[in-house]
Amino acid sequence: MQFKLLKGRFGRRLAVVCSVFVVGACAYNEELGRSQMAFIPASQMASLGSTAWADVTKKEKVSTNPKYVDRLNRVAPKVLRAAGEDPAKWDYKVFDSKSLNAFALPGNHFAVYTGIMDIMANDDQLATVVGHEVAHVRANHGGERVSQQLGANVAMQAAQAAIGSGGQTGQLALGALGLGAQYGVLLPFSRKHELEADKLGILYMHRAGYDPNEALAFWRKMGSSGGPKPPEFMSTHPSDATRIAQIKEIIAGLPPR
């Protein structure tokens, strides 16, 4: 409605940008219970994810050590079935690295590093991470993040075209828009994705028969690892306190098995 009040090139471009955002936000994710921005079809995201997976598996050292591989092969199928997935349609590997890391890609791919597996006290803690990564894929977080980035880029291009050179004032305005997109949209949504993956992952591991209380133990351990962390509003991940508080709430509301 307010578009009528905007005049000239900037108003027209802003109207187009906003209409793109509205259309892109119409995909409803039933498991999350909310709409998602989705400019790119799921099939295309799966293709992009598979291409990225093929590339990363060439660059990373894939572990064949039974100490790690057998453990992941024991836990992952249980969690996948609990999430309503067919394990045969997923590709997951262990990467030989001391990095405390794991990641997922669209197209049903995820990897866990030996470094993070070394600090896991039991299979329940591995199920915590597997559930978290499976949740990212099922929730289409990758597609949503790409759509958010595309949307932010379109908005910045429209603003730059509308402002023009604008001297120092114009450049300051563009800088503010950039910071707003980064700290006001992209990072907070990333934190939202992490918390959603925590929630769904704990539900999956619980259904699979693993102890969700071990998720608390694991994330506390992760919180004490590494160096100083940035403030939450400048981080792609929620603070340790935020994450732990939500996990406690989720566990308290879990149905009996």
Which residues are known to be catalytic? 133
Cα-trace Rg, the chain: 21
Question: Cα separation of 158 and 15, whole Å?
Answer: 10
Tell me what percent of the chain is helix, strand and coil, each rounded to the nearest 5. Answer: 65, 10, 25
Question: Cα separation of 159 and 9, whole Å?
Answer: 10
**With contact defined as beta carbons under 8 Å apart, do 111 and 94 qualify?**
yes
Q: Return the bridge partners of 128, or none.
A: none
CA-closest candidate to residue 115, choices 208, 215, 232, 222: 222
Name the region of 41 (left: φ>0; alpha: ψ -120 to 50; beta: rest).
Answer: beta
